[in-house]
Amino acid sequence: MIVVFEAHATEEQIRNVQGRVEALGLRVQRSDGVEQTVLGVIGDRKRLGDIRQFALLPGVRDVIPVSSPYKLASREFHPEDTVVQVGAAAIGGPEVILVAGPCSIESKAQIESTAQAVADAGARLLRGGAYKPRTSPYSFQGLGEPGLELMRRAADRHGLGMVTEVMTIEQISIVAPYADMLQVGARNMQNYPLLVELGRSGKPVLLKRGMSATIEEWLMSAEYILSGGNSQVVLCERGIRTFETATRNTLDLSAAPVVKHLSHLPIVVDPSHGVGDRRYVAAMARAAVAAGADGVMIEVHPDPDHALSDGPQSLTFDEFAALANRCRIIATTLGRRIAKGA
Amino acid sequence: MIVVFEAHATEEQIRNVQGRVEALGLRVQRSDGVEQTVLGVIGDRKRLGDIRQFALLPGVRDVIPVSSPYKLASREFHPEDTVVQVGAAAIGGPEVILVAGPCSIESKAQIESTAQAVADAGARLLRGGAYKPRTSPYSFQGLGEPGLELMRRAADRHGLGMVTEVMTIEQISIVAPYADMLQVGARNMQNYPLLVELGRSGKPVLLKRGMSATIEEWLMSAEYILSGGNSQVVLCERGIRTFETATRNTLDLSAAPVVKHLSHLPIVVDPSHGVGDRRYVAAMARAAVAAGADGVMIEVHPDPDHALSDGPQSLTFDEFAALANRCRIIATTLGRRIAKGA
Amino acid sequence: MIVVFEAHATEEQIRNVQGRVEALGLRVQRSDGVEQTVLGVIGDRKRLGDIRQFALLPGVRDVIPVSSPYKLASREFHPEDTVVQVGAAAIGGPEVILVAGPCSIESKAQIESTAQAVADAGARLLRGGAYKPRTSPYSFQGLGEPGLELMRRAADRHGLGMVTEVMTIEQISIVAPYADMLQVGARNMQNYPLLVELGRSGKPVLLKRGMSATIEEWLMSAEYILSGGNSQVVLCERGIRTFETATRNTLDLSAAPVVKHLSHLPIVVDPSHGVGDRRYVAAMARAAVAAGADGVMIEVHPDPDHALSDGPQSLTFDEFAALANRCRIIATTLGRRIAKGA
Amino acid sequence: MIVVFEAHATEEQIRNVQGRVEALGLRVQRSDGVEQTVLGVIGDRKRLGDIRQFALLPGVRDVIPVSSPYKLASREFHPEDTVVQVGAAAIGGPEVILVAGPCSIESKAQIESTAQAVADAGARLLRGGAYKPRTSPYSFQGLGEPGLELMRRAADRHGLGMVTEVMTIEQISIVAPYADMLQVGARNMQNYPLLVELGRSGKPVLLKRGMSATIEEWLMSAEYILSGGNSQVVLCERGIRTFETATRNTLDLSAAPVVKHLSHLPIVVDPSHGVGDRRYVAAMARAAVAAGADGVMIEVHPDPDHALSDGPQSLTFDEFAALANRCRIIATTLGRRIAKGA
């Protein structure tokens, strides 16, 4: 922690702060600058507690934390890229992974035909929800476990890994036997008891960014999972909330290079939720690959106009195949690749 | 739903939309305006599914929902104010309720002395956390059930109702026997499985606004609880996330009159989390009462500098008593009242 | 500036930064902490240029500015409250000033009747626009100089000071002979050439906060005016842009206590633009007074339903008089006062 | 306009609204739905004035505008792409245009060497500021007209078009003789008097998006210029303000496909201001091309560490050349091209 004093702080005010810090068993180094005095605090950060309290002492202008709030998620303490293996997909390696499938699992025919189509187009992972977080209590809430069974069979038949969401601690034990990767939705990014359990689950986790989460908070949420002993965490950018209303969210693609800089964890981008409009999904998927994402996750449906959820942002099979082709070429220009399908 | 066509939409495009709507068993009324054609859709809204899909049809400029997404929470369908009784406090009636207490329950002495101090100053409800959602996995996570016991005894001894947070479904059955009101934190506002369970719990619920939730989404979350059969819901504004960094959040006090207009549910304001800085809490508590809030919730601690959490935004006993006095006078000027303490 | 190094920064990387700083003629103080090394830079801040460049050097985690970016606007360098005299109003003193009037000056009868009504209700200053910044080029753009004449006469007849907006440098010389105070609109908060000219104008300035301006940037804009030699600056909070759509903007009332803490300049609140809906204006005006604002600025119109601009957020004369009465009582409870009208 | 009534609106309330609309000379079409009544208003929209006033009438739940607020900027009324010719660059055609140069013109050597480097790398346009909008009055404010002369000569020598900012109406007549394209900065996006003058200037305009402007407001600002008779407008996305602090702004790349859908005007992306950090600029430039932008604008400096402004986000010559090469390949994969330099 650094304590910055006001220009006219008195010697007594400075000594008061210094005394409090030293009383906690920490050491202080003082700099008397041209404009103000600054104290640097040396020692175990945990002893300080909530440092905002020092900002309230007389004569203090500001206090500034200097240690990183997350460690296990930080590239500083883990310089090599993490690669998370999910089925046949190595997320975070040279291959850019396509994840695709419907918003909700609706029927055997729907998930089966979708699995085939996305596998044919080069996807490695099948996405789809059996438990759905819906804004309205009156909307379709998902098929539950029967949906998981349908999805598992469809994934197996087409050699795909299976990614699906868990919304509660209890769902982990239901979902884990079926899925290859457990997804944490944006609304649960700071559901800490859920994160703690996922840290113990031993399954790869796809952690979506909260709607108004900073990148730092997102990495703190990853830290919860990592600190439980589970190092298989993949981050997923899905748009943040801003004042703009032309798109459902504002897809923050700069998260890709920023996360790559700050962390060793892989990052995948979900343009379907990011823009919420089928017409803009392909452009943003291409942009995500160009920005350096390790994967893109796309909502695909055999008949988007009749989907039970998120139809307007879902692509048809043909649209997805076209998108995959374009992304494949862009990946190549960056020295990466995307799997060729059938 | 209203469908607005582009200025140069063709007759065929208009008929295509009309046909699709009618195929769903709904009726259409057409208006040919000076600049564009508009279709009004009449009938059961649920048949339409996700209306964004119509926005993607050729020739359509926009589609606009016209039915309210929430019903039970809406004043339109329930014109009289709801009053929620919690212990001796009738929230939503003429009395403005003070809710006060520490961020976390830390010890018997701490919760006991705080209960006495806030009761003496006129508080009706004691707040305090036994299960804490902390951004960092390395921070104090709360005392759990032993904390609940300490808090219950302190509340009883001073005639206070008890409000405390539940973070998971499992915690409901642990916490409910102790507490008079269950709080849903900002991070859980859209934890739908939790809301569904609270709808069945029979306990009053204090529903905090999510950090980036619109007022409409907040009322939709209330709808989840109400639709489960629990009508005792109180909303709590606690600041939203914006670009401003001088305060921890931006306290949206206009939520008070807006919620009063749109809904019959009571609304309480939490300026402690709203600003996150002790120096600004009293001003914002006064403003909340002046804006028409049904209560204010304040973090109070016997020794804020040594609190295990949120010390910088906690008031001392004396500061809280002074705040209560000021708010009491302002309430009077609005024809309301705040309980006098000892 | 403080430079914080990564945990594993090499000695060479640290020395490299140190060398660059010293090459600029500045002194460095080094702290080797438990987790990382920190360098404090001592000397004239201007020599550093844009400090973000140091953040890009190898081994650096972060750089942190420690000197305040504004001086003249800061309470740190000017502890006493500034009081700005405009006509009979002393803004920033014990009296809370009511500023009221129409959005646009429309006619002699309109401005005249409004001046009388607001003076009778206790307003000290008449507001009204002759030059209007309108989002659409097809909207009413204001009466221009003839409007200023009408407004000046109305203000004089009722003993009111006159506040009106200038949008360009050229308008300053047209408007200044009529007005007692020149308003800078939210869209011009960072129109620096305009601020520079207002710094030379010798007239009191009402500086509205930009729609997405931080409080720090707002004070920087005040600094532009102050540094030109004009110390008569009053800040005006008018709502910031957030994701919420139920109100036109989100009125950030915490700006009142925060600005009072950081600066010696007075602050006025404009709830009319802040919420954009007549039904919520009175509640927010009361809240502004309770939060410690030095004044409130309200749109008032003889016939809001037929106003040429901002009718939906304008109050009738009776509504304004009722609002003034309520605010007057709240001011009293804070040891302040609002002028009584006729 | 559509007026949506509350579920329990009375016949009298509905007739009241209908009467007011008809009194304005407009026609009304009424739909009595299952849940509520809706009125569609037919006729010249301007007669309605500010439609928010109808939302305040008793029994009304909401009013909804249905006509587009902008016409000249809308693709609906102008389906073909606009191509803006600036020097040798046709912006909005098949070629993706590179715009590059320093933040500020600093010296003859600086602008000359930069012009050569960016021309060699394939840029068509030279950017650089002679008049700088700086947050602090104590920062470098630009060289003014002598800077323009230096820049013009450098541009000519290397066959580049010249783009530079105008901050005031007066600067237009100074800058126009030198520049091929006039830039409106983000802070001036709603400086309407400036936009009106640019509408008369006959010069191509590069209109940056305001920091918190919606895409609709941005197009409304373009409408100001277009309605003055100047059809040569290019939009420039440069990042919007959000809660995220890891980047200077949040670059909204979805603006590229959205603007292409809503408007016929070309769109260029400025990743340098969008992220504000040299390390992330290349990734976001690639992403912008992949998302379909018609150009990218990059800050380039011979010695970024000693730039007088924006050094930390400026690229070296080599970094720019590498970026241009990558973007060139991506453009090709989309069937577009980027000019080859020397």
Residue-wise pLDDT for B296-337, tens only, equals 999 999 999 888 888 889 999 999 999 999 999 999 999 999
Q: What is the pLDDT of residue D18?
A: 93
Task: Indicate the pLDDT class of residue B55, thresholds 50, 70 and 90.
Answer: confident
Q: Crossing angle of helices C192-201/C215-226, nearest 10°?
A: 50
Task: Answer yes or no: is pLDDT of B137 > 90.
Answer: no
Q: Which residues pair with D206 in a beta bridge?
A: D183, D234
Question: CA-to-CA distance for B60 and C182, rounded, in angstroms?
Answer: 46
Residue B312: closest C-alpha in chain A? A53
Q: What is the pLDDT of residues A130-145, one digit of tens each?
A: 998 887 888 888 899 9
Question: CA-to-CA distance for B251 and C241, rounded, in angstroms?
Answer: 13
Q: What is the pLDDT of residue C164?
A: 98
From chain B residues 265-324, the ones with a CB under 8 A of any chain D CB are none
> Smallest CA–CA separation between C117 and chain D, in Å?
22
Amino acid at C149: E
Amino acid at B122: G
Q: Is A13 on the interface with C (CB under 8 A)?
A: no
Per-residue pLDDT, averaged over A47-67, amounts to: 85
Residue A68: closest C-alpha in chain B? B136
* pLDDT, averaged across chain A: 94
Location of structure tokens 């298989």 = A232
Enumerate the residues of chain C whose CB falls inside 8 A of the CB of residue D309.
50
Task: Answer yes or no: is pLDDT of D305 > 90.
Answer: no
Q: What is the pLDDT of residues C31-77, one digit of tens each?
A: 887 778 889 888 887 788 888 888 889 999 888 888 778 899 999 88
Task: Answer yes or no: is pLDDT of B67 > 80.
Answer: no
Task: Answer yes or no: is pLDDT of A65 > 90.
Answer: no
Task: Answer yes or no: is pLDDT of C129 > 80.
Answer: yes
* pLDDT, averaged across chain C: 94
Task: Answer yes or no: is pLDDT of B133 > 90.
Answer: no
Q: How many CB atoms lie within 10 A of CB C192?
A: 24
Per-residue pLDDT, averaged over A144-152, amounts to: 96
Cβ separation C330–B326 shorter than 8 A: no
Structure tokens at C78: 């000017």
How far is the first Cα of chain C from the last one, in angstroms, to the nearest whole number? 56
Query: Using CB atoms, which chains have 3+ pairs under 8 A with B?
Result: A, C, D
Per-residue pLDDT, averaged over A302-310, amounts to: 87
Enumerate the residues of chain C whose CB falls inside 8 A of the CB of residue D191.
167, 187-188, 191
Task: Please tell me the pTM assigned to this model.
Answer: 0.93
Percentage above 70 pLDDT, chain A: 100
| Sign of the C-alpha dihedral computed for residues B285, B289, B293 and B298 taken in this order | positive
Structure tokens at D99: 């715009």
Cβ-contact D251, D269 below 8 angstroms: yes
Q: Is C12 on the interface with D (CB under 8 A)?
A: no
Per-residue pLDDT, averaged over C171-198, amounts to: 96
Q: What is the pLDDT of residues D176-212, one digit of tens each?
A: 999 999 999 999 999 999 999 999 999 999 999 999 9
Phi, psi (deg, nearest 5) at residue A209: -75, 135
Lowest mean pLDDT among A111-120, A298-307, D27-36: D27-36
Q: What is the pLDDT of residues D232-245, one digit of tens each?
A: 999 999 999 999 99
Per-residue pLDDT, averaged over B234-248, amounts to: 96
Cα distances (Å, whole numbers) of residue D41 to B18, B62, B66, D25, D54: 20, 17, 15, 10, 12
Cβ separation D254–A252 shorter than 8 A: no
Q: Is A134 on the interface with B (CB under 8 A)?
A: yes
Q: Crossing angle of helices B278-290/B317-333, nearest 10°?
A: 20
Q: How many CB atoms lie within 10 A of CB B94?
A: 12
Q: Is C66 on the interface with B (CB under 8 A)?
A: no
Q: What is the pLDDT of residue B100?
A: 98
Residue C248: closest C-alpha in chain D? D52
Q: Which residues pair with B62 in a beta bridge?
A: B4
User: Which of D21, D63, D76, D241 to mutate to test binding with chain B, by most B CBs within 10 Å of its CB?
Assistant: D76
Q: Is D250 on the interface with C (CB under 8 A)?
A: no
DSSP string, D245-289: -SSSSB--TTHHHHHHHHBSS-EEE-HHHHH--HHHHHHHHHHHH
Q: Is A24 on the interface with C (CB under 8 A)?
A: no
Q: What is the pLDDT of residues C137-156, one digit of tens each?
A: 888 888 999 999 999 999 99
Q: Which residues pair with C4 in a beta bridge?
A: C38, C62
Question: CA-to-CA distance for D230 and D203, rounded, in angstroms?
Answer: 8
CA-nearest of A37, C195, C306 to D47 is C306
Lowest mean pLDDT among A127-136, A258-267, B264-273, D106-115: A127-136
Q: How many CB atoms lie within 10 A of CB C80?
A: 7
Enumerate the residues of chain C whose CB falls inside 8 A of the CB of residue B254.
247, 250-251, 274-275, 280, 283-284
Per-residue pLDDT, averaged over D120-138, amounts to: 91
Strand, helix or coil for residue D193:
helix
Q: What is the pLDDT of residue A250?
A: 98
Strand, helix or coil for residue B8:
coil
Question: CA-to-CA distance for C258 and B162, rounded, in angstroms?
Answer: 32
Question: CA-to-CA distance for C102 and C105, rounded, in angstroms?
Answer: 6
Strand, helix or coil for residue B48:
helix
How far is the first Cα of chain D from the last one, in angstroms, to the nearest whole number? 57
Task: Answer yes or no: is pLDDT of B274 > 80.
Answer: yes
Cβ separation D217–C306 shorter than 8 A: no
Structure tokens at B71: 């019903």
Q: What is the pLDDT of residue C36?
A: 84
Cβ separation A42–C29 shorter than 8 A: no
Enumerate the residues of chain A whose CB falls inside 8 A of the CB of residue D284.
253-254, 257, 291
Cβ-contact B300, B101 below 8 angstroms: yes
